Amino acid sequence: MAEPLLKAVDIDKSFVGVHALKKVNLTIMPGEIHCLAGENGCGKSTLIKVISGVYAPDSGHIEFEGNYYQKITPMQAIDAGIQVIYQDFSIFPNLTVKENLALNMELASKKKLVNWKEVETIAREAISKIDFKVDLEAKLGDLSVAEKQMVAICRALMFKAKLIIMDEPTTSLTKREVERLFKVILGLKQQGIATLFVSHKLNEVFEISEKYTILRSGELVSSGSTADLDNETFTYYMTGRRFEATHFVPENVSKDPIMEAKGLSLAGSYSDVDFSLHKGEILGITGLLDSGRTELALSLFGFEPATGGQLLVNGNPVKFKTPRDAIHSKVGFVPEDRLSEGLFLPQSIADNIVISEIDKLRTKLKTMDFPKRQEEVNRWVKELSIATPNPENACLTLSGGNQQKIVLAKWLACDLDIMILNGPTVGVDIGSKHDIHAILRTLAAKGMGIIIISDDLPEIIENCSSLLIMKGGKIVKQMDMIKEKPDEKAILGYMM
């Protein structure tokens, strides 16, 4: 029987006030595709950093190919064949593909002058390892997320990687790009290269991984063969909660639509879009990345004003030339990238919650009414179950799910009639995802009209009462989700 490639034995790690890992064990065999799962804050990132030498464990040790390390250093990890691809890929966006691929080799050689012919040779050899087709002269900043990821994988393979750790590798990828990534991972397996796949997306875990390890609150909850798991058990191990699978059924739907689109168009992006949204409904819009779904969402909030057709709110024609116009019509927008577009991360949780209603919280002398501010902050922290010991802490201290709740709180404080959400649960864990869906259903039940733009089909199927499927900038299918009860395969058929 083959010996393990990696053994992390009784790894214990604490930081000030936080016991991040508690006697955690992990075993990976050569060529194995292993999923490391758990909610945000469970200790996944800490374990990765211990394995790769960024952190030294307080106790326990690492064994790699039979070699014992009480504390492995980053250089020892790289030399041994351990490579980590983080979510930001650790690339240089201002450099070309070939420069990114050859940079480390050139630095290691300590040459004073760059041999560009050699750089080209190194880069071509690197991309050939996974049959990756890309312009070597292209700037990394101009590539898609999927292409950047492929560059990072090629770079890892240049260092004779035996274990590649991928931290949430599919967060910003389309379904097609995920399929391509999985094909590459399976190719690595055939070469005997193991992959530690960090994820909390159940469908992906079951599709690609052979073994799993689940952490919760820094402890090992379960480890074994993925074939022995089902969705319900996996979710319970991750969250400690059991969720009942239910489908949203709208109640108290208004007779007249709250928002209508008639032949809405944006030159070069989408055309002839028609839909009606009523109070109490959750309308889903899905499609592949280039389907026009995101551009439509941006037009509905005034970021990219429509160039044709008509948009009506409460029966009245409106022209949203700016987001301010949309807000004036009681329309809110939750962006897909909450970190750069939805939050002021260094500012406090409290400031992020009240920023949209700052004028209402001022006294007659134009100073801040702090008791009223505190009352509003406490209200939304409680109502949305935002997990924080102190609302005055910086927003960046929160998990992705709690950050998304703050974006929701910011808009809900504006007393909206319509909420548009682009990728509402991108990058959040299973428990937070369930909580956010419950919040959206409650808002719909209270009379809000909600639009969800997403390519997460389980999310669409469980939470939307109607669906628009887009392809090539047009609506190719409208579905009544309550009557038709479509499955993923049926929806994908129209998307593809």
- Burial 237-269, CB ≥16 within 10 A → b, else e: bbbeeebeeeebebeeeeeebbbbbeebbbeeb
CATH code that applies to domain 257-495: 3.40.50.300
pLDDT in tens, 247-264: 899 988 999 999 999 999
Task: Answer whether 6-239 and 257-495 agree in fold.
Answer: yes
Res. 462: pLDDT tops 90: yes
Mean pLDDT, rounded, for 193-218: 88
Task: Answer yes or no: are the C-beta atoms of 320 and 326 closer than 8 Å.
Answer: yes
* pTM beyond cutoff 0.75: no
In sequence order, which residues have a C-beta less than 8 Å from that of residue 124 and are 6 or more positions away? 136
Least confident of 14-28, 190-204, 301-315: 190-204
The DSSP bridge partners found for residue 126 are: none
Give me the pLDDT at residue 387, please.
79
Mean pLDDT rounded to a whole number for the chain: 87
Rg value, the chain, Cα: 24
Closest by alpha carbon to 202, among 379, 35, 447? 35
Closest by alpha carbon to 34, among 188, 241, 240? 188
Higher pLDDT pick, 8 / 366: 8
Domain residue ranges of the chain, discontinuous segments joined by +: 6-239, 257-495
Give me the pLDDT at residue 17, please.
73
The DSSP bridge partners found for residue 211 are: 34, 225
Q: What percent of the chain is modeled with pLDDT above 70? A: 96
Give me the pLDDT at residue 476, please.
95
Give me the pLDDT at residue 105, please.
65
Rounded to whole angstroms, the Cα distance separating 39 from 168 reads: 12
Mean pLDDT, rounded, for 21-32: 96
Rounded to whole angstroms, the Cα distance separating 130 from 82 reads: 18
What is the 8-class DSSP label of residue 138? S
pLDDT in tens, 114-158: 677 878 888 888 888 788 888 888 898 888 877 888 888 888 888
Higher pLDDT pick, 428 / 9: 9
Could you tell me how many residues make up the chain? 496
Mean pLDDT, rounded, for 441-453: 94
Res. 108: pLDDT tops 60: no
Res. 174: pLDDT tops 90: no
Give me the pLDDT at residue 195, please.
95
pLDDT in tens, 337-377: 666 666 777 888 888 888 777 777 777 777 877 888 888 88
Cα–Cα distances (Å) from 322 to 301, 306, 325, 357, 458, in that order, read 7, 11, 5, 18, 32
Res. 73: pLDDT tops 90: yes
Mean pLDDT, rounded, for 167-186: 80
Give me the pLDDT at residue 112, please.
65
Mean pLDDT, rounded, for 189-204: 86
Place of tokens 């920023």: 355
* pLDDT range class, residue 111, cuts 50, 70, 90: low
Res. 107: pLDDT tops 60: no
Give me the pLDDT at residue 95, please.
87
pLDDT in tens, 406-427: 888 888 888 889 999 998 887 7
- Burial 123-132, CB ≥16 within 10 A → b, else e: beebbebbeb
Please name the fold of domain 6-239. Answer: Rossmann fold (3.40.50)
* pLDDT range class, residue 284, cuts 50, 70, 90: very high
Give me the pLDDT at residue 109, please.
61
